[in-house]
Structure 1
Amino acid sequence: MKTLNILLIEDDMIEVMKFNRAINSLQLNHKITEANNGEDALKLLEQKDNLPDIILLDLNMPKINGIEFLKILKNDERLRYIPTMILTTSSNKRDLLSCFEIGIAGYMLKPLKYEDYVSKIEKLLAYWSMNELITA
């Protein structure tokens, strides 16, 4: 399985720690870059020589929310091809629809139980590490 360069955009530090803990417990050696909000993520993405393979995006964030971030991403000639997965607690059908209309690779609800979360993250990353990913 190939190593992924993952951009995790999440404002909740507990969620960031949970994600990193899951990665470590699964003994996956993916490279994780963290951004605490959409603005920071866009700054990181300006460094076009080091683009992520996939983006994991929380929807409910300060400054630029997930949907606003997606719109900016998809309007960029180079960034629009980066597969973006929504990782959220929001089961709001309007959010779901908006995200798919803008263009996302998937929408995953964060389970409450940690074991279920780890299982979902494992499957998610296994799937993406088997994909042929575009490097812009």
Structure 2
Amino acid sequence: MVGSNILFVDNCKTFIENAVNAFSQIGVQYTLCFAESDTEAWSLLQGDHQLSPLPQIMLIDINAEGINGIDLINKIRNNFELKSILIFVISNINNNENKLAALNLNIAGYMSKPFGNEEIISFFSTLNDYWNSIEFSSENK
């Protein structure tokens, strides 16, 4: 999946910086794109600033203030061009209602947000290994 986009929807600048550093340290071969809100993410998926190629993977903190993550995931799952995006929810807030709603929208996983530098590197290294072991559609988007 070299050269593909990953869309990261989170408004925590510290966590985003740590994620970028982790991606660099473990040699992730993807282009990491960021959105700080569900509206900005939707614009990158279907709006005036649409990513090309469309991301095959998305990481989202659905519990972050200012992000209506469940609504965004629902819109993605109801869009023919986007519904195959592999969506991972990462959050430091344990909201069972949002967790159940996200799982019912066929997300790939709901995980606790890591905090320490080594935890973050280990977390993204594990995800990277997973992403590199699965097969994505060969269709160009």
Q: Are 1:40 and 2:43 an aligned pair?
A: no
Corresponding residue number in structure 2 for 1:85: 88
Deviations 1:47-77 (Å, cap 9, x if unpaired)? Answer: 3752112011111345441111111111111
Runs of 4+, deviation exceeding 3 Å: 61-64
Structure 1 residues 115-124 or 54-63, which shifts more? 54-63
* Contact 1:8 1:35 survives alignment (8 Å): yes
Matched, 1:6 2:16: no
RMSD: 1.8
Q: TM-score, normalised by structure 1?
A: 0.88
SS for the counterpart of 1:69 is: helix
* Unaligned stretches of 5+ residues in structure 1: none
The sequence identity of aligned pairs, in percent, is 27
User: Is 1:116 paired with 2:99?
Assistant: no
Match of 2:77 in 1: 74
SS of 1:23's partner is helix
SS in 1 for 2:83: helix
Q: Give the Cα separation in 1 of the matches to 2:132 and 2:25.
A: 17
Greater helix content: 1
Count of matched residue positions in the alignment of Structure 1 and Structure 2: 135
Alpha-carbon distance between aligned partners in 2 of 1:108 and 1:129, rounded to the nearest angstrom: 19
